[in-house]
Structure 1
Amino acid sequence: MKIKKVFNNNVVLTEDVNQVEMVVMGRGLSFQKKVGDSIDTERIEKTFVMPSESFANKLSELLDEIPYEIMSLSKDIIDLATKELQTELNESLYLSLADHIHFALTRLHEGLSIKNALMWEVQKFYKEEYRVARKALDLIEARTKVRLPEDETASIALHLFNARQDSAGMEETMEMTNIVNDVTTIVKYHYGIDFEEESMNYSRFITHLRYFAYRMLRGELNDDHQDALYEQVKSQYPKAYACTEKVQAYLNKQYKMEMTKEELTYFMIHIHRVSYREKSE
């Protein structure tokens, strides 16, 4: 493997035998080396494929500010998350997570504490990501001897969830979380119930809400004009219909958005199911 670009003494751009570009990391890997020199593969500690040239440029900028130890730590957290969540994560997470961890450690060192306003919602709605984020905090503490505040668990969990979405931005992810929280609150007070958050039914309801909010914010809602099914469900579940009308009013007021009959039908079915089982139990 030959060096195509030197980022710093520990990180270089190279390519494999199939001419696929990749970044390789290792302490002192490129010390006193230049473009065209060979790499000692035994010193490589981390490897990942380059998704784009812009990614390489952003990485280069980040490496000027962030220590190698934090970059390596971030890669290990991403590897852990990929295994625990059993999914591929967007490569951009490598940049955003390293930047976030470095900034969080810097803030803590300077005595600055920033609360995560979505702490409760993230813990409630993104349980798997939150669980992995707790492990990430443990790993950060083990490597840096610094325990980040508990609010950072929610922040890291949001980064993980964001990386699971098809190029969704962090701002969009946070907006999705607010929508899910507000809609569940509407349902909760409409029926006067507390949800059993560990139940499969509640999990299905939250999953539907998350993907509905995701599609809504991107303008991807479709209507198959299932008028007959809509009228049938509306007649069969009048209380779920009334609740869905409240959700529609909220979305219209906050986002100037009208749900399609298809979405209204799905909402009535999900709301009836989650409320009926909660009442029964």
Structure 2
Amino acid sequence: MKVVQSLNQNALLVNNDGNECIVVGKGIGFGKKRGDVVDNKKNVKFYKMVPEQGGVREFIDDIDDQSLQAAEEIASYAEKTLGKEFTGNFILSLAGHIQFLEEKYRDKVEIPEPFHYELKYLYPSEYKIAEWSIHYLQEEFDFSLPSAEVSFFTLHFVNGLVENDSLKNVVELSDILNETIEIIEKETHEVMNRETIAFSRFIIHLRYFVIRSLSRIAKKENNENSEFKKIYDLTFEMYPLEKQIIKKIKEQLYVNHNIIFENYEDFYLLLHLVRILSNGVESR
């Protein structure tokens, strides 16, 4: 296998018989550069990269060693606990999230507790691993993280597993992402700056919702928590533009692709939409 990019002393992005992988092993990246041949040694872990519609590869150079190491440790624990495998895309996405934790909480972002309840109920195994991950980061790297991060990490695990299991219609995913961006730009009369990390991160999270929805049969459910519904309604009234955009996105995805987002998914998407509209757009 040949080196595509050295990530740190213990991790490489390689081409292995035509397939890109992240390979992790003690000292495997020491002194390695692009084009070097690496022996397929024992005691190394492979994370296969999958085709993506923009996202983590765009900011791979900005991910630091500590964040990548933490992401691999967390993924390794999650794989053993769930009996599933994650992709290299997941490792890079999680590492990027970890790296931006400090920046994120300078802004004092918080999520209402009912949202945590929804995730704990829907994804109990992933939620427990997310709790372990937060404890690990606090102990190993002296992070001080709010309870909201359990929800964010839960969604990382859910989305990572769905991505790895399969998404048969990649063309449909691409169409949906393009349609969604067109709606946002039309409603805001602004062009989203596609060269920013903020845009890449937004696409990753938007893609999570679409992948989960394409992997299940769309159906309406009435199982939402009443207290969550109150906060959901109040929060959306505070952001009328974002509310209108999400409404149009939902209508188009239902008509064209039979996709239905639950309220808790709308709420999570709202948080990212508020941020991207304030940081990731430019005037026409």
Q: Please give the TM-score of this superposition, normalised by the length of structure 1.
A: 0.51
The separation in 2 between residues aligned to 1:163 and 1:14, in whole angstroms, is: 20
Q: 1:166-181 maps to which residues of 2 (within 5 A)?
A: 166-167=166-167, 169-172=207-210
1:48–1:145 CA distance, 2 compared to 1 (3 A): same
Moved more, 132-141 or 40-49: 40-49
Residue aligned with 2:14, SS: strand
State the 1:37 CA deviation: 2.9
Q: What does residue 275 of structure 2 align with?
A: none
Given that 2:49 and 2:89 are in contact with CA atoms closer than 8 Å, whether structure 1 keeps it comes out as no
The separation in 1 between residues aligned to 2:145 and 2:224, in whole angstroms, is: 30
Question: Does 1:144 find its partner at 2:141?
Answer: yes
For residues 159-192 of structure 1, give each alpha carbon's deviation from its aligned partner in whole angstroms, at most 9, with x where no partner exists.
Answer: 2122333559334559x9xx999712599xxxxx
Residue aligned with 1:13, SS: strand
The separation in 2 between residues aligned to 1:217 and 1:129, in whole angstroms, is: 31
For residues 99-126 of structure 1, give each alpha carbon's deviation from its aligned partner in whole angstroms, at most 9, with x where no partner exists.
Answer: 2222223323x36333257222112222
For residues 223-253 of structure 1, give each alpha carbon's deviation from its aligned partner in whole angstroms, at most 9, with x where no partner exists.
Answer: xxxxxxxxxxxxxxxxxxxxxxxxxxx99xx
Which consecutive residues of structure 2, in runs of 5 or more, have no partner in the other structure?
Answer: 168-172, 174-206, 227-253, 267-284
State the 1:69 CA deviation: 1.6
Given that 2:131 and 2:150 are in contact with CA atoms closer than 8 Å, whether structure 1 keeps it comes out as yes
Given that 1:21 and 1:50 are in contact with CA atoms closer than 8 Å, whether structure 2 keeps it comes out as yes
Question: Does 1:113 find its partner at 2:151?
Answer: no
Residue aligned with 1:63, SS: helix
Given that 2:56 and 2:89 are in contact with CA atoms closer than 8 Å, whether structure 1 keeps it comes out as no
Given that 2:60 and 2:92 are in contact with CA atoms closer than 8 Å, whether structure 1 keeps it comes out as no
Larger radius of gyration: 1
State the 1:67 CA deviation: 0.9
Given that 1:73 and 1:140 are in contact with CA atoms closer than 8 Å, whether structure 2 keeps it comes out as yes
1:137–1:15 CA distance, 2 compared to 1 (3 A): same
Q: What does residue 223 of structure 2 align with?
A: 184
CA RMSD, Structure 1 to Structure 2 (Å):
4.4
For residues 16-45 of structure 1, give each alpha carbon's deviation from its aligned partner in whole angstroms, at most 9, with x where no partner exists.
Answer: 4x5544222457754554334344777986
For residues 54-75 of structure 1, give each alpha carbon's deviation from its aligned partner in whole angstroms, at most 9, with x where no partner exists.
Answer: 58x8555333222112112112
Q: 1:180-259 maps to which residues of 2 (within 5 A)?
A: 183-185=222-224, 218-219=257-258
**Percent identity over paired residues:** 22
Q: What does residue 80 of structure 1 align with?
A: 77
The separation in 2 between residues aligned to 1:22 and 1:42, in whole angstroms, is: 14
For residues 108-157 of structure 1, give each alpha carbon's deviation from its aligned partner in whole angstroms, at most 9, with x where no partner exists.
Answer: 3x363332572221122221111111111122223212132111111111
Given that 2:47 and 2:86 are in contact with CA atoms closer than 8 Å, whether structure 1 keeps it comes out as no
Q: What does residue 89 of structure 2 align with?
A: 92
Q: What does residue 98 of structure 2 align with?
A: 101
Question: Does 1:22 find its partner at 2:60?
Answer: no
Q: Please give the TM-score of this superposition, normalised by the length of structure 2.
A: 0.51
The separation in 2 between residues aligned to 1:217 and 1:79, in whole angstroms, is: 38
The separation in 2 between residues aligned to 1:144 and 1:181, in whole angstroms, is: 42
State the 1:50 CA deviation: 2.6
Query: Letter of the aligned partner of 2:103 in structure 1?
Result: T
Given that 1:2 and 1:39 are in contact with CA atoms closer than 8 Å, whether structure 2 keeps it comes out as yes
The separation in 1 between residues aligned to 2:256 and 2:115, in whole angstroms, is: 19
Residue aligned with 2:74, SS: helix
Query: Letter of the aligned partner of 2:110 in structure 1?
Result: I
Given that 2:47 and 2:87 are in contact with CA atoms closer than 8 Å, whether structure 1 keeps it comes out as no
Residue aligned with 1:48, SS: strand
Q: What does residue 135 of structure 1 align with?
A: 132
The separation in 2 between residues aligned to 1:42 and 1:19, in whole angstroms, is: 18
Residue aligned with 2:222, SS: helix
State the 1:49 CA deviation: 2.1
Residue aligned with 1:183, SS: coil
Residue aligned with 1:23, SS: strand
